[in-house]
């Protein structure tokens, strides 16, 4: 049943620039309807210069929750009343909860990544993980894994960025095992050979460049689990190669769904209908 909008409807949304292609409205509204909750989720196009005004507006209008996407995930931190410890370590917030005017920031990209691993029965404790890329998405993934005691190798085209990310990991988790290296053929071969989990956090393989993969197929073996955070297409070249090599695969769609599910639970206090959210996303992506 679809709730009609009334004086009691609670409003959630996403702020970003650009924001019109966000899949979050489709996913969250499907979830609200499935649970018959009197909530609605909308997209707000917010320029960087208007971020502080938008957060004041969230307080003034009593919006229940917001997602922050590019370019606001970092800039929003000092505008909040509290920030969850993992989000602070990552240095980025993607979900804000408004409890009667008190705004708390969370990073459900990190939580969603871990939930996607749990769903796929991969426990990261003491596992060797290779992370390809060292940008914003890699930061959430790497800190989430470091917090769970994984042993990390970060490989990046620009080695200094990988080294900087590892420094951040060690500041957050002093006894963590992490190294950052250039993404050369040799480093990739050596790191992947010893890995349990390989995570691509770069945009390599994203539509329209669907023929590309960050990891050569010949390096992937049946004992690997391969996680590609790209979700468009759902079956990337990397995941297809991994599947053909007998490796286990986890799609970026799972991370997208779970980051949404964690946000949904923070805003509504209800268990998220993850299957319905996943189906709504697949339909929106044209992949049923
Ligand atoms: P996001 O927030 O999505 O992680 P980002 O912060 O711009 O985006 O980071 C993109 C990451 O993908 C970086 O690690 C980038 O490598 P550089 O630091 O060398 O720029 C990596 N990346 C993007 N395109 C790539 C490509 N074609 N080959 C290898 N790495 C790539």
Alpha-carbon span 87 to 153, nearest angstrom = 21
- Residues contacting residue 124 through CB under 8 Å, at least 6 positions apart: 114, 117, 145, 148, 149, 150, 197
pLDDT (mean) for 243-263: 98
The pLDDT score that the predictor gives to residue 3 is 76
The pLDDT score that the predictor gives to residue 246 is 98
Using a 10 angstrom Cβ sphere, with 0-12 exposed, 13-18 middle and 19 or more buried, the burial of residue 190 is middle
- Tell whether ligand 1 has an atom less than 6 A from the beta carbon of residue 158: yes
Which band of pLDDT confidence, cut at 50, 70 and 90, is reported for residue 288? low
pLDDT (mean) for 92-120: 97
CA 271 remoteness from chain centre: 19
- Tell whether ligand 1 has an atom less than 6 A from the beta carbon of residue 135: yes
- In the predicted structure, residue 129 carries a pLDDT above the cut 70: yes
Percent of the chain with pLDDT over 90: 98
Per-chain mean pLDDT for the chain: 97
Ligand 1 centroid distance, CA of 135 (Å): 6
Whether the link from the prior residue into 157 is cis, omega within 30° of 0, is no
**Which is nearest to 281 in space by CA: 259, 252, 250, 253?**
253
Catalytic residue among 73, 121, 271, 288: 73
Ligand 1 centroid distance, CA of 157 (Å): 8
**Which is nearest to 267 in space by CA: 127, 104, 139?**
104
Alpha-carbon span 145 to 285, nearest angstrom = 28
- Residues contacting residue 219 through CB under 8 Å, at least 6 positions apart: 188, 189, 192, 193
Note whether 117 and 250 are within 8 A (CB). yes
Which band of pLDDT confidence, cut at 50, 70 and 90, is reported for residue 1? low
73 an active-site residue?
yes
Q: What are phi and psi of 125, to 5 degrees?
A: -55, 125
27-44 tens-digit pLDDT: 999 999 999 999 999 999
- Tell whether ligand 1 has an atom less than 6 A from the beta carbon of residue 202: yes
Ligand 1 centroid distance, CA of 107 (Å): 20
Ligand 1 centroid distance, CA of 133 (Å): 6
Q: By three-state DSSP, how is residue 251 classified?
A: strand
Q: With residue 40 as reference, give the H or E element that holds it.
A: strand 39-45
- Tell whether ligand 1 has an atom less than 6 A from the beta carbon of residue 203: yes
């Amino acid at each position: 049943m679809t709730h009609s909008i009334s004086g009691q409807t609670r409003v959630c949304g996403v702020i970003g620039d650009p924001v019109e292609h966000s899949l979050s409205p489709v996913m969250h509204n499907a979830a609200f309807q499935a649970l018959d909750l009197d909530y609605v989720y909308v997209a707000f196009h917010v320029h960087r210069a208007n971020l502080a005004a938008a957060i004041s507006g969230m307080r003034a209008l009593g919006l229940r929750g917001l997602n922050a996407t590019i370019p606001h995930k970092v800039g929003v931190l000092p505008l909040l009343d509290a920030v969850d410890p993992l989000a602070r370590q990552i240095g980025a917030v993607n979900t804000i909860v408004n409890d009667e005017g008190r705004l708390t920031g969370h990073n459900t990209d990190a939580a969603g990544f871990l939930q996607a691993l749990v769903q796929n029965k991969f426990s990261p404790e003491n596992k060797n993980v290779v992370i390809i890329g060292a940008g914003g998405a890699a930061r959430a993934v790497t800190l989430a894994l470091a917090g769970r005691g994984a042993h990390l190798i970060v490989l990046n085209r620009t080695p200094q960025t990988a080294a900087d990310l590892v420094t951040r990991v060690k500041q957050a988790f002093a006894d963590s095992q992490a190294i950052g290296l250039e993404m050369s053929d040799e480093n990739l071969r050596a790191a992947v050979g010893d890995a349990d989990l390989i995570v691509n956090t770069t945009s390599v393989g994203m539509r329209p460049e669907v023929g590309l993969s960050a990891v050569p197929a010949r390096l992937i073996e049946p004992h690997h689990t391969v996680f590609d955070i790209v979700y468009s297409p759902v079956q990337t070249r990397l995941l297809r190669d991994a599947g053909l090599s007998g490796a286990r695969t986890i799609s970026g769609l799972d991370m997208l769904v779970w980051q949404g599910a964690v946000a949904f639970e923070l805003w509504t206090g209800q268990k998220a209908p993850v299957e319905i959210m996943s189906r709504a996303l697949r339909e929106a992506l044209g992949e049923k």
